[in-house]
Structure 1
Amino acid sequence: MTNRPERNPVLLEFFQKYLSEENTAAFIHRVASVYTCGTLERLSHHGLPEVRRGAVMALCFVSDYSSNHTVGMALSDSDRGVRLIAENGIRSLWIRAGTPSQRHRLRKVMSQIQGNSLDSALKDADALIVDAPWYSEAYNQRAQVFFKRQNFERSLRDNHQTLEINPYHFPAAISMGQCYLRQGENVMALDSFRRALRLNPNLESIRTQITYLERQLEEM
Structure 2
Amino acid sequence: MSAPLLVEFYLKLPQPQIGDDPDLLQAGMRESMNAFRDAVGAKYTEGTLQRLLTSSETSIRRAAALATGLIGTMRSNPHLSGVLRDTDTLVRKFAVESLWEIWFRGGTPDQNGQLQQAIRLPDIAQTLAALDDLVRTAPDFAEAYNQRATLYFRRGEYARSVADCETTLRLNPYHYGAASGMGQSYLRMNRPRAALRAFRQALEINPSIENLRDTIRGLETALDDAAREGGE
> Normalising by structure 1, what TM-score?
0.90
1:108-127 mapped onto 2 (5 Å cutoff): 108-112=117-121, 115=122, 117-127=123-133
Larger deviation: 73-82 or 158-167?
A: 73-82
- Structure-2 residue corresponding to 1:176: 182
1:16 shift after superposition: 2.0
For 2:51, the aligned partner's letter is R
RMSD of aligned residue pairs (Cα, Å): 1.6
Distance in 2, matches of 1:56 and 1:10, equals 15
- Structure-2 residue corresponding to 1:45: 54
- Structure-1 residue corresponding to 2:22: none
- Structure-2 residue corresponding to 1:28: 37
Aligned length: 211
Contact 1:109 1:141 (8 Å CA) reproduced = no
> Identity of counterpart residues, as a percentage?
37
- Structure-1 residue corresponding to 2:21: none
1:129 equivalent to 2:135? Answer: yes
1:191 shift after superposition: 0.9
Distance 1:10 1:218, change over 3 A: same
For 1:77, the aligned partner's letter is D
Distance in 2, matches of 1:110 and 1:8, equals 37
- Structure-2 residue corresponding to 1:89: 98
> Which of 8, 13, 16 pairs up with 1:13?
8
1:187 equivalent to 2:193? Answer: yes
For 1:58, the aligned partner's letter is A
Distance in 2, matches of 1:188 and 1:194, equals 10
Distance in 1, matches of 2:157 and 2:35, equals 45
- Structure-2 residue corresponding to 1:4: none
For 1:50, the aligned partner's letter is S
Distance in 2, matches of 1:8 and 1:68, equals 21
1:78 shift after superposition: 2.5
Query: Where in structure 2 are there 5+ consecutive unaligned residues?
Result: 16-27, 227-232
Distance 1:192 1:92, change over 3 A: same
- Structure-1 residue corresponding to 2:160: 154
Distance in 2, matches of 1:88 and 1:98, equals 18
1:19 shift after superposition: 5.0
Contact 2:3 2:52 (8 Å CA) reproduced = no
Deviations 1:69-126 (A, max 9, x none): 11121222222221111112211101111122211110122113xx3x2221221111
Tell me, what secondary structure is at the counterpart of 1:75? helix
